């Protein structure tokens, strides 16, 4: 491209994902979380900023969406793959596409069991990974909202950070003791999504047993503490400090695999 010769910006990186891909969401006093009215407001565009600070000859195209679904992200990326050298995928919970579908269709879910739900979520996970793999470019995966699935069967998909939360020693905070706490999380499904849907979708009729089963596994898989506000200022997304650690992992992989072209064609 002629413009690339003029600017020297000859590497095209694309970022896809959900709100975790945007960077830091710092609460705004007097408003709900990182929102002003209904407008989401990012306080620090960490992934792009740290990548640009380190690599001087790149263009970073941000295609992530707040509330984005893995399947929709994969389709968009596959449709425009010719424009990019490689991508960074902030993996979100594969249940999101399924829950959004149920909210739109008001489907009768009274017979749904926990095992059936996990099976359906796994189907969405596999279908999105197949689409990502078909993009024919290296894709670097980061687990944000949930931990990454097994990527071993997908040659173009590379697990760089299984879960951002687990990159730091003390990701949690005990409100009672007023101290940071150690721990890790490894859930691959955001079980809170079921309860958000149950609260928002008045026509959604999960059985009492199903909700009890989901509540139990949610308690078993996740610590009782809050998130450490230094790393999670809004209690739902990583801070600029956690993103710096994450982006350093990405940069290390990019450099060790010579993924940045230094020659302008």
pLDDT value at position 228? 97
Per-residue confidence (pLDDT) for residue 3, from 0 to 100: 82
What is the pLDDT, as a whole number, of residue 262?
62
CB 247 within 8 A of CB 47: yes
pLDDT at 198: 83
Task: Note the pLDDT tens digit of each residue in 220-261.
Answer: 998 889 999 999 999 999 999 999 999 999 999 999 999 998
In this structure, the chain runs to a length of 265
What is the predicted pLDDT for the residue at 265?
A: 45
Q: What is the pTM of this model?
A: 0.94
Matching residue, tokens 């002629």: 2
DSSP string, the chain: -HHHHHH---EEEEEEESGGGG-B----TTSSTTEETTEE--SB-HHHHHHHHH-SSEEEEE---TT--HHHHHHHHHHTGGG-SEEEEEE--THHHHHHHHHHHT---TT--HHHHHHHHHHHHHHHHHHHHTT-S-EEEEESSS-----TT-TTEEEEES-GGGGSS--EEETTTTEEE------SS-THHHHHHHHH-TT----HHHHHHHHHHHHHHS-SSEEPTTT-TTSSS--HHHHHHHHHHHHHHHHHTT-S--S--
What's the pLDDT score for residue 197?
86
Query: Mean pLDDT per segment of 10 residues, for the chain of length 265 residues?
Result: 79 97 93 81 95 95 94 95 97 94 82 96 97 96 97 98 98 95 96 87 83 94 92 96 98 96 58
pLDDT at residue number 34: 78
> Radius of gyration (Cα) for the chain, nearest Å?
19
Phi, psi for 213 (deg, rounded to 5)? -65, -40
**CA–CA distance, 74 with 133 (Å, rounded to integer):** 9
Pairing type for strands 179-181 and 172-174 reads: antiparallel
Q: Specify whether the CB–CB gap between 89 and 41 falls below 8 A.
A: no
Alpha carbons 156 and 35: distance in angstroms, whole number:
36
User: Which domains, from first to last, does the chain contain?
Assistant: 2-94+132-188+227-256 (3.40.50)
Confidence at residue 201, expressed as pLDDT on a 0 to 100 scale: 62
């Amino acid at each position: 491209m002629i413009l690339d010769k003029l600017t020297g910006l000859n590497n095209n990186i694309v970022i896809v994902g959900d709100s975790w891909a945007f960077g830091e969401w710092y609460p705004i006093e007097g408003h709900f979380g990182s929102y002003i009215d209904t407008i989401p407001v990012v306080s620090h565009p960490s992934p792009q900023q740290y990548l640009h600070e380190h690599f001087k000859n790149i263009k970073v195209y941000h295609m992530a969406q707040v509330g984005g679904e893995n399947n929709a992200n994969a389709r968009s990326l596959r449709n425009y793959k010719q424009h990019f050298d490689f991508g960074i995928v902030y993996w979100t919970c594969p249940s999101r596409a399924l829950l959004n579908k149920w909210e739109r269709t008001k489907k009768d879910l009274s017979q749904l069991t926990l095992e059936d739900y996990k099976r359906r979520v796994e189907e969405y996970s596999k279908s999105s990974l197949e689409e990502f793999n078909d993009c024919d470019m290296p894709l670097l995966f980061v687990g944000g909202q949930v931990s990454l699935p097994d990527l071993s069967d997908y040659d173009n998909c590379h697990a760089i950070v299984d879960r951002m939360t687990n990159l730091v020693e003390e990701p949690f905070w005990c409100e009672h003791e007023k101290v940071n706490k150690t721990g890790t999380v490894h859930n691959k499904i955001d079980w809170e999504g079921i309860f958000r849907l149950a609260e928002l979708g008045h026509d959604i009729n999960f059985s009492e047993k199903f909700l009890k089963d989901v509540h139990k596994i949610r308690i078993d898989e996740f610590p009782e503490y809050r998130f450490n506000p230094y790393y999670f200022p809004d209690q739902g997304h990583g801070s600029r400090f956690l993103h710096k650690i994450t982006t350093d992992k990405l940069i290390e992989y990019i450099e060790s695999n010579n993924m940045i072209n230094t020659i302008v064609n």
